[in-house]
Amino acid sequence: MKIIVTGGAGFIGANYIFYHLSEHPEDVVICLDKLTYAGNLHTLAPVMERDNFRFVKADICDREAVTGLFEAERPDIVLNFAAESHVDRSIDDPSVFLQTNIIGTAVLMDACRRFGNVRFHQVSTDEVYGDLPLDKPEMMFTEHSPIHCSSPYSSSKASADLLVQAYHRTYGLPVTISRCSNNYGPYQFPEKLIPLMIANALNDKPLPVYGAGLNVRDWLYVEDHCRAIDLIARQGRIGEIYNIGGHNEMRNIDIVKQIVSELGKSEELITFVTDRKGHDLRYAIDPTKISQELGWLPKTMFKDGIQKTIRWYLEHRSWWEDIISGAYRVDQPIG
């Protein structure tokens, strides 16, 4: 098969490309990425020379570029990882989130329709469901939970999901949607919680924690997420939504303390800062549907995954140090 992976120079997209090429070496993978600040071409260095991999720099909102790529490649499946995804940035400037996450998704689906109703998978987020109370641990998000967004980011992703469902119902486009809990692992941009804490702790810098750090997230190792998406794209029922969760809820403060302990640093580095506007209290995903239908369960326990992640950042300091310094933007095409 021939697969287009959008946003493949980002964290989850790149990890998916590595996973896919390892598991399906007979397939051809084309990465479409605009190389915005979170896209790093150096991340894809391990696969750039492979005969069955191609990188294309373009914006998913650029209808002419997307149409030209589809015409040239005639893909069998499109996996849409491309998104603006940082909540704080969406609060500061929602407009780019609306453009990329909604309009970009529509442009991709229009190309899918034009070139033979190409199979389309939308990578979404559990944040479209809003949050859950801290004092009711039995409550979890299912695929039938109502959408209740808290940020411009989650609103843009929910809008895209609704558009994907509309294209399926109106045009018969073969689609699926996945909504995943918080990911962690190699190649995550160092503005996110876990890599930020690792980088700051290694440099003995303050570890900024929102509020009292009591917000709870369900954490999933990125390779488990990639495996789930691959299963959905190949075996998932058309028109369906699948929740992907790690059954691993943890408070932010506990994760920060664990990172500090693993690195042998002092908890005095932890600094509590003013809470984020509209900060969701708790996310918890019920992955029963994907487990029962596709046989998926997470394989990586958090205690193992966080150790692997810390080890990766220790062994690849130049990767994230170049991002923090801005050097990674100098020798790659600027988006």
Q: How far is CA 103 from CA 61, 108, 276, 319, in A?
A: 6, 9, 27, 31
Considering just the CA atoms, what is the radius of gyration of the chain in Å?
Answer: 19
Cβ pair 108, 170 in contact under 8 A:
no
- Give me the helices (H) in the chain, please: 11-23, 63-73, 87-92, 95-98, 104-114, 152-171, 193-202, 222-235, 252-262, 288-294, 302-315, 317-325
Catalytic residue, from 33, 84, 126, 249: name it. 126
**Among this protein's residues, is 153 annotated catalytic?**
yes
CA distance 162 to 139: 24
Catalytic residue, from 16, 129, 153, 328: name it. 153
Q: Interhelix angle for 302-315 vs 252-262, to 10°?
A: 50
**Among this protein's residues, is 127 annotated catalytic?**
yes
Given its phi and psi angles, is residue 264 left (phi above 0), alpha (psi -120 to 50 degrees) or beta?
A: left
| Residue 305: partners with Cβ closer than 8 Å, 6 or more residues away | 184, 185, 219, 221
CA distance 263 to 250: 19
CA distance 297 to 184: 16
Cβ pair 279, 210 in contact under 8 A:
yes
- Give me the helices (H) in 74-115, please: 87-92, 95-98, 104-114
CA atoms within 13 A on the CB side of 19: 20
Catalytic residue, from 33, 59, 84, 127: name it. 127
One-letter amino acid identity for 198?
I
What are the residue numbers of the active site? 126-127, 153
